Structure 1
Amino acid sequence: MGSSLGESCASRGRTALGSSMYMEAMHFVGILSPYPSQNPDFFNWNKVKVRYCDGASFAGDVESEDQSGLKLFFRGQHVWEAIIDQLLSEGLAKAKQAFLTGCSAGGLATFIHCDNFRNRLPKDATVKCLADAGFFLDEKDISGKETVRSFFNEVVHLQGVAKSLPNDCVTAIEPPQCFFPHELIKRINTPLFILNPAYDFWQIQHILAPLESDPGGQWRRCTMNIRYCNSNQIEILHGFRKSLLDSLNKFQRNKKGGMFINSCFVHCQTMSNITWHSPTSPRLSNKTIAEAVGDWYFERGVVMEIDCPYPCNPTCFNLEFI
């Protein structure tokens, strides 16, 4: 399996997911927007967007370039360190407030690097982290296979990720298990906000009902549009939601933590004006995600929001692929 993952990485190297040669211009929207109407609390902050291209949430650390005959560089950990070094030299070392955020693989990177980010900044600075759609679940798929666990296993071994994961975790259990957020959050000391949809379409399409585990295509329409899920499939999706909430059960009692778990069929929500803060944004307790995150960051109130199950939230922005 290692070589197939290596080949997948090599093919990604010819796309925007693997090389800056193919990346398009960046747009600063959502939590990065410079407009107060779109981003009420953080519009006037200095913002840096780190482009993702390493395939392991800036945690790879392999000395050799040669992977199964392919020339691949798995040194995301060094990329992370070099970026922080540069930012510190350009003014981050004087920051009074700092916020590390990321979505999807960047959300996982936020879990992995949150405490390191805190430790590199001034002791008197207010430093917090927000992981958006990065809480990947270690769940069996619809055919009973451990699809995501075996995938994480391959990534951790191929990219030498264990060195970047918490030492007390990798010495106690199998290193790939420590790549899952439910293990990472047990060890994060920095104030952390977890934003995740309970019906994360990426996880539904790749963890719960991947194509190879649905040869008859019974799940195809459901994974592309939640409105096409039948009652049986909705029950299974509710079970997936319950697994997420069970994994976050202890975190709910974290006095420094914040949470916004809405019941939408979506993936990243900080990187879009529609979902982050707009008149049509998803809301919980009548607050947009931006308002909830701002209240938590600036300690204007406790934010531990969990939505009722689908389809009860009419404010949801649900993606429709078909």
Structure 2
Amino acid sequence: MAEIRYCDGASFMAAVNPETKLYLRGRRIFSFVIEELMSTQGMSNAENALLIGTSAAGLATILNCDRFHSFLPSVCRVKCISDSGFFIRAKHLHGAQDNIIYKFRNTVLFHELAEFLPKSCTQRHVTELCFLPENVVNDIRTPLFLLNSDFDRYQLGVHVLPNSCIEVGWKDCLKNNSNLPCCTDNQLQLIMDFRTTFLKTLEKLDDNPSRGLFITSCYVHDFVYEPFNWQGIPTLQNKTIQQALGDWYFERSSVLFIDCQNLYPINCIVTV
């Protein structure tokens, strides 16, 4: 196993521009790391390979999934897992801010990513929208697993705000699950509306038999780097995250699990 620290600000997608002499090396870093693993760590002889990333790196995993596969054409099983990387635009969510598009547009323009995003996506959408998972996941050919919460703590806190950004108690409401009783009715409604919007966004994805889903209602963001928290995550269809990922990766069964029971975020944090 090798860990690559996310460091370039553009999902390991940017390249050096010889004209402007803007040395953005994310794409080169990704290539060099994979090539190093293949030449010195024996990854070129692997039978199974898995690319996985969390949060911003979960987005990077989606965007680089097919590229990762292209380095390993002879490996029998190459797949990708995006942990908490399915960021949504929530365009029609009442009270939502469209700052995610502002951020993504600036990233795409500054890092000159247009040529590196899937052409099948940029032919349908303006370029910055193809940096958004909901628009690009259908263009990923390599098997992809989406591990996420439909009450994603980060997205609720950063991308979704009440009509008034200074509404009293909003930040306190979102601090942790135990604060929900202190939330106003309007705040609770917005939280529930985000979940509805998140699930509707997932529904727009095509029916790809190689894709996996494990969508919990835990009030968390990031699963992989907080493995002790997995103890507190309810099973879905009687499967833990570990079991679901194993079944999907080794193709023992399809895994399309969504928590439809909890209308409010649940506390899944285990104190150790």
Q: Bin the TM-score by the shorter chain.
A: 0.7 to 0.9
**Residue ranges of structure 1 left out of the alignment (5+ in a row):** 1-46
Task: State the Cα deviation string for residues 298-320 of structure 1 (Å, max 9, x = none).
Answer: 12222111102545686x41599
Q: Distance in 1 between matches of 2:59 and 2:208?
A: 19
Within a 5 Å distance, the mapping from 1:1-322 to structure 2 comes to 47-63=1-17, 73-90=23-40, 91-140=42-91, 143=95, 145-209=97-161, 214-226=165-177, 227=180, 228-251=182-205, 253-276=207-230, 278=231, 280-308=232-260, 310=262, 316-317=267-268
Q: Against the structure 1 CA distance between its residues 144 and 48, is the aligned structure 2 distance closer, same or farther, given a 3 Å change threshold? A: closer
**Matched residue SS, 2:108:** helix
Task: State the Cα deviation string for residues 231-275 of structure 1 (Å, max 9, x = none).
Answer: 322222222112221222154732111100111110011222223
Task: Report the TM-score when normalising by structure 1.
Answer: 0.75
Q: CA contact under 8 A between 1:94 and 1:122: conserved in structure 2?
A: no
Q: Distance in 2 between matches of 1:137 and 1:239?
A: 13
Q: Against the structure 1 CA distance between its residues 257 and 194, is the aligned structure 2 distance closer, same or farther, given a 3 Å change threshold? A: same
**Matched residue SS, 1:208:** coil
Q: Against the structure 1 CA distance between its residues 274 and 286, is the aligned structure 2 distance closer, same or farther, given a 3 Å change threshold? A: farther
The farther-off stretch of 294-303 and 176-185 is 294-303
**Identity value in percent:** 37
Q: Distance in 2 between matches of 1:66 and 1:172?
A: 29
Q: Against the structure 1 CA distance between its residues 102 and 257, is the aligned structure 2 distance closer, same or farther, given a 3 Å change threshold? A: same
Q: Distance in 2 between matches of 1:104 and 1:319?
A: 20
Q: Distance in 2 between matches of 1:318 and 1:56?
A: 30
Q: Against the structure 1 CA distance between its residues 82 and 208, is the aligned structure 2 distance closer, same or farther, given a 3 Å change threshold? A: same
Task: Report the TM-score when normalising by structure 2.
Answer: 0.87
**Residue ranges of structure 2 left out of the alignment (5+ in a row):** none
How far has the Cα of 1:143 moved from its partner?
4.5
**Matched residue SS, 2:138:** coil
**Matched residue SS, 1:283:** coil
Q: Distance in 2 between matches of 1:319 and 1:230?
A: 26
Q: CA contact under 8 A between 1:142 and 1:213: conserved in structure 2?
A: no
State the superposition RMSD in angstroms.
2.7
Task: State the Cα deviation string for residues 63-101 of structure 1 (Å, max 9, x = none).
Answer: 26989xxxx742211111111111121211111001111
* Count of residue pairs brought into register by the alignment: 266
Q: Distance in 1 between matches of 2:217 and 2:203?
A: 17
